[in-house]
Amino acid sequence: MARTMAQGEDGGSTRRNARGLKKTVALVGMMGAGKTAVGKALAARLGVPFLDSDAEIVKAADRSIAEIFAEHGEAFFRSRETEVIGRLLENERAILSTGGGAFLSQTNRDMIAEKGVAVWLKADLDLLWSRVRHKNTRPLLRTDNPYETLKALVAEREPFYAQAGIVVTAAPKLSIEAMAGKVVEALSAHGGILEEDQ
């Protein structure tokens, strides 16, 4: 696991020896924002577990998310999602990647605020589309015009994401490691989240 940040990767930030968390960091944002990839890099950098609420739902149901949507509907999925997020927040402090719709729930927002801190990985529509357009694993985009559907979802969801305690903006040419570095810097600036090495 990497202990330090390569200089220049995230715009010249100083090297940091942050290890561990005082509270769980929940990554929120749209599909394609990089929550899973950045979350894994962030967890490795900080030496903490990485948890993924979608993956936990899939494991518990023994079904893909698309299959859960098809068989039981979105309302059923959202109910299971809240249960899983609540359980994961009770576990050890970790980096928690949440599904794109999770932060729309007031219950989920309240749980995350009480037990941890939400970080919105903010990405613009063009970047999101470039990342999701060739994937068929997104049930909400199985429409006649997936681009317009994504555009509508972004407009609907961004006011909820904006309620996150921390916002970190992605850029097309920013590597996963560099984005993780930006999140570490944001967490450090926020205070009370990272365990600092002495």
Which residues fall in the annotated binding site for ATP?
Answer: 32-37, 138
Which residues fall in the annotated binding site for substrate?
Answer: 54, 78, 100, 157
Which residues fall in the annotated binding site?
Answer: 32-37, 54, 78, 100, 138, 157
pLDDT for the residue numbered 13: 36
Output the pTM of the full model: 0.85
Q: With a cut of 60, say whether residue 15 has pLDDT above it.
A: no
The chain-wide mean pLDDT, for the chain, equals: 87
Identify whether the C-beta of residue 93 lies closer than 8 Å to the C-beta of residue 20. yes
Q: 116 has which bridge partners?
A: 24
Q: Are strands 18-21 and 194-196 parallel, antiparallel or unpaired?
A: antiparallel
Specify the CATH architecture of the domain 19-196. Answer: 3-Layer(aba) Sandwich (3.40)
Ranges of each domain in the chain: 19-196
Q: With a cut of 80, say whether residue 42 has pLDDT above it.
A: yes
Tokens encoding 150: 């994504």
Identify whether the C-beta of residue 27 lies closer than 8 Å to the C-beta of residue 97. yes
What length is written for the chain? 198
Residues 136-146 as b/e (b if ≥16 CB within 10 A, e otherwise) read: eebbbbeeeeb
Of 26-40, 87-101, 127-141, the poorest mean pLDDT is in: 127-141
Q: How confident is the model at residue 19 (pLDDT cuts 50, 70, 90)?
A: low
| pLDDT tens by residue, 120-164 | 999 999 999 999 988 776 777 888 899 999 999 999 999 999 999
Of 2-11, 24-33, 174-183, the poorest mean pLDDT is in: 2-11
Q: How far apart are the first and last CA of the chain?
A: 18
Average pLDDT over every residue of 163-173: 93
Distance of CA 11 to the CA centre of its chain: 22
**3-state SS of the chain?**
CCCCCCCCCCCCCCCCCEEEECCEEEEECCCCCCHHHHHHHHHHHHCCCEEEHHHHHHHHHCCCHHHHHHHHCHHHHHHHHHHHHHHHHHCCCCEEECCCCHHHCHHHHHHHHHHEEEEEEECCHHHHHHHHCCCCCCHHHCCCCHHHHHHHHHHHHHHHHCCCCEEEECCCCCCHHHHHHHHHHHHHHHCCCEEECC
Which residues fall in the annotated binding site for Mg(2+)?
Answer: 36
Residue 156, judged by CB atoms within 10 A of its CB (0-12, 13-18, 19+), counts as exposed
